[in-house]
Chain A
């Protein structure tokens, strides 16, 4: 249902790409993948360009991992947010909390 692609940037940031739909059936795997990526880098960037659907179950996983990253002193943020993910983040009021504010843009 969902596929993940992990990569490392030279600055030590882990980038996890999510493709497909994330709901209650997928959220546990997503949490596991995010935790692994977070362990491997100084920060975690979740690339949502391939994310076609996410509901509040998936959102709960994102909130959970973002809290864990904060506890570890690591940065966490979503990039390339669009469509349903964008709508969900806006409606839930978590956009500012979870979406990475890119200082370069």
Chain B
């Protein structure tokens, strides 16, 4: 039995359970979940933002390249705008007389030259093959000194080059771009200079190809500030930074290098703002996901905690119920008889089975009482309801009935007297019972029934329920009872039981009674304990809620009473021999010894003056018992007579034949019980 549960319920176990809950490794740590969600969210946000920004940037690069190419195309056409009037003038000069050539040059170029015009200076030169001389000049003096090697070198380049030659000249503070075209066939050369603003800045038309760009144009293929010709930004801010594009454009016999940067975002606004939107949207989503997850984790861990608490409480309750039920069953069993009285000629067997459901036990009981020499009483009863108070009521009913029966009252009278003492309105229970008394010698049994199932009398030839009126249960008011007397044939069995054995839910009670009769008949010749076990086994439904008490008594067929005279020993020997043979005792030597012992003991009884002798054989538990009981006053003595003495040997011979010999005084005589252990039956004869 475990320690009382009061000690353990509020004891250290509870704290252990709480600690176990706290350190349960299955619980999620909210902060680690948050960190994980934040990391994943930030990673995704960063990735998306980076990707969108990369896409935007490559779009910008592509758009810038496209615009730059357009600008370069515009720039490349500018050379023909410069070159064409110069060629036109050269062609016209070839057609006019020499005296008109200056005038024509002035007319054709005059409008283009001036401080605010396209060119600051324009001049006409002529090569005669050896000397290059200036013929005419418009605007400011050209940055090309007549007769200088520098002039010679540049103008020769124009004479030998098809198309415009270009170079940069510095005159004083002013930087200019110089252009020259020549007709080698007649040696005419036109030379113009175009001023570059001091700050190199040139406004950009709103609808030009440069409208959306910052730009810097350099003469030649380098981006040295010296070579800068035009820009729309402060030259101090050059070179252009950020996203730039660079391309070169043929320009006369040299090239221009164009560097551009976008003035503003070239692509769509969506493309510009998408990375930002993704960044802030992702951060917001991450935050929301983290908060939702935090909430979920918290509610889940609360639910887990609740579940564990409930489970723990449930197990605790279950175990308490189990302990309580075990206690009740022990109490119930303690109240049932542990050993049946030894009544010669009558075998008793009984079994109690606790119900299968619930913690409570019922109030079923059985009881066997030796009421005097050769008589006995028995009760099988059932207290309604269950629980410990039903068991207490059972004890009261049991001992009340027992007292009346011990006083010698008949079953009907005992029940009637009991009925005055039980009241369901006071006790809360009714009690049903079958009460009987019996005579071991005659096999006569008298029973009365108070609201209880009728006993079943069974023998190998058949089984039938004892027929008598069923009186009112105890507790239902003072009542009288009828009783029935019948004789149990030798070898027959009387079965008393509680309704738990025959009742099944949804089945009429008669069907249960029929099943019981069949169950008993199928095992009626088995030893009593096996008969009871077999009946319970076949009758008990799965999960039977009610408890069951079964008691069986069997009239032995191995008892005989003989009137004492000279023929009694022979009759006793015949009885014993027949009984042993019918029981299948195989050993002839054992049969011979039992027969001899019977003869000796019966002879002693007859000689002692007995009027009758009762003989009983009991076979079971690995032993064989012979009872010889008489009503003679004498007391047998064990003697060791001399070899030549004619008598006095009987008892000592019996003692040598058997395993043990006991003599018991009875009210009117004595009983000699001789026991053989069956394992010793195959003895070798004493030499």
A interface residue numbers (CB < 8 A to B): 1, 21, 23-25, 53, 55-57, 59-61, 63-64, 66-67, 83-84, 86-88, 90-94, 97
Q: Which residues of B contact A88 (CB under 8 A)?
A: 596, 653
Report the bound CA distance from A87 to B607 in whole Å.
23
> What 16 new A-B contacts, CB under 8 Å, besides A24-B606, A57-B569?
A21-B573, A23-B569, A23-B573, A24-B566, A24-B569, A53-B595, A55-B603, A56-B647, A56-B653, A60-B646, A60-B647, A61-B646, A63-B644, A83-B592, A87-B592, A88-B653
Considering residues A24, A94, A97, which has the most beta carbons from chain B within 10 angstroms of its beta carbon?
Answer: A24
Question: Does chain A have a CB within 8 A of B685?
Answer: yes
B interface residue numbers (CB < 8 A to A): 566-567, 569-570, 573, 589, 592-593, 595-596, 599-600, 603, 606-607, 643-647, 649-650, 653, 656-657, 685-687
User: Does A24 contact B603, Cβ atoms closer than 8 Å?
Assistant: yes
Report the bound CA distance from A97 to B409 in whole Å.
61
Report the bound CA distance from A97 to B644 in whole Å.
9
Q: Which residues of A contact B685 (CB under 8 A)?
A: 86-87, 90
User: Does B570 contact A25, Cβ atoms closer than 8 Å?
Assistant: yes
User: Does A91 contact B569, Cβ atoms closer than 8 Å?
Assistant: no
User: Does A91 contact B645, Cβ atoms closer than 8 Å?
Assistant: no
List the A residue with the shortest CB-CB distance to B573.
A53
Query: Given contacts A24-B603, A59-B649, are A84 and B592 in contact (CB under 8 A)?
Result: yes
9 pairs from A and B in contact (CB 8 Å cutoff): A24-B606, A25-B570, A53-B596, A57-B569, A57-B650, A59-B649, A63-B646, A88-B596, A90-B687
User: Does B566 contact A87, Cβ atoms closer than 8 Å?
Assistant: no
Report the bound CA distance from A84 to B643 in whole Å.
19
Cβ of A75 to closest chain B Cβ, rounded Å: 16
Cβ of B591 to closest chain A Cβ, rounded Å: 10
User: Does A97 contact B643, Cβ atoms closer than 8 Å?
Assistant: yes
List the B residue with the shortest CB-CB distance to A1.
B570
Q: Which residues of A contact B593 (CB under 8 A)?
A: 87
User: Does A67 contact B649, Cβ atoms closer than 8 Å?
Assistant: no
Considering residues B567, B593, B646, B650, which has the most beta carbons from chain A within 10 angstroms of its beta carbon?
Answer: B646
Cβ of B651 to closest chain A Cβ, rounded Å: 9
Q: Which residues of A contact B600 (CB under 8 A)?
A: 55-56
User: Does A55 contact B644, Cβ atoms closer than 8 Å?
Assistant: no
Q: Which residues of B contact A24 (CB under 8 A)?
A: 566, 569, 603, 606-607
Cβ of A90 to closest chain B Cβ, rounded Å: 5
Q: Which residues of B contact A53 (CB under 8 A)?
A: 573, 595-596, 599
Report the bound CA distance from A93 to B641 in whole Å.
11
Cβ of B640 to closest chain A Cβ, rounded Å: 10
User: Does A56 contact B569, Cβ atoms closer than 8 Å?
Assistant: no
User: Does B566 contact A90, Cβ atoms closer than 8 Å?
Assistant: no
Report the bound CA distance from A66 to B644 in whole Å.
9
User: Does B644 contact A57, Cβ atoms closer than 8 Å?
Assistant: no
Cβ of A88 to closest chain B Cβ, rounded Å: 7
Cβ of A76 to closest chain B Cβ, rounded Å: 12
Cβ of A97 to closest chain B Cβ, rounded Å: 6
Minimum-distance CB pairs A-B, first 8 = A60-B646, A25-B566, A55-B599, A56-B649, A64-B646, A60-B647, A56-B650, A24-B603
Cβ of B552 to closest chain A Cβ, rounded Å: 38
Q: Which residues of A contact B606 (CB under 8 A)?
A: 24
List the B residue with the shortest CB-CB distance to A97.
B643
User: Does A25 contact B656, Cβ atoms closer than 8 Å?
Assistant: no
User: Does B643 contact A57, Cβ atoms closer than 8 Å?
Assistant: no
Q: Which residues of B contact A84 (CB under 8 A)?
A: 592, 595-596
Report the bound CA distance from A92 to B650 in whole Å.
9
Report the bound CA distance from A105 to B566 in whole Å.
39
A23: contacting residue among B603, B647, B649, CB under 8 A: B603
Cβ of B682 to closest chain A Cβ, rounded Å: 14
User: Does B686 contact A55, Cβ atoms closer than 8 Å?
Assistant: no
Q: Which residues of A contact B657 (CB under 8 A)?
A: 91
Report the bound CA distance from A57 to B589 in whole Å.
20
Report the bound CA distance from A86 to B686 in whole Å.
10
Query: Given contacts A24-B603, A57-B603, A59-B649, are A87 and B570 in contact (CB under 8 A)?
Result: no
Q: Which residues of A contact B569 (CB under 8 A)?
A: 23-25, 55, 57
Q: Which residues of A contact B644 (CB under 8 A)?
A: 63, 66-67
List the A residue with the shortest CB-CB distance to B566.
A25
Cβ of B653 to closest chain A Cβ, rounded Å: 5
Q: Which residues of A contact B595 (CB under 8 A)?
A: 53, 84
Report the bound CA distance from A19 to B461 in whole Å.
40
Q: Which residues of A contact B646 (CB under 8 A)?
A: 60-61, 63-64
Cβ of A104 to closest chain B Cβ, rounded Å: 23
B599: contacting residue among A1, A23, A90, CB under 8 A: A23
Report the bound CA distance from A53 to B687 in whole Å.
19
Report the bound CA distance from A83 to B588 in whole Å.
10
Report the bound CA distance from A59 to B607 in whole Å.
16
List the A residue with the shortest CB-CB distance to B655.
A91
Cβ of A20 to closest chain B Cβ, rounded Å: 10
Cβ of B590 to closest chain A Cβ, rounded Å: 11
Cβ of B211 to closest chain A Cβ, rounded Å: 146
Query: Given contacts A53-B573, A56-B647, are A91 and B653 in contact (CB under 8 A)?
Result: yes
Report the bound CA distance from A56 to B599 in whole Å.
9
Q: Which residues of A contact B645 (CB under 8 A)?
A: 60, 63
List the A residue with the shortest CB-CB distance to B651.
A56
Report the bound CA distance from A23 to B653 in whole Å.
15
Report the bound CA distance from A93 to B642 in whole Å.
10
Q: Which residues of B contact A56 (CB under 8 A)?
A: 600, 603, 647, 649-650, 653
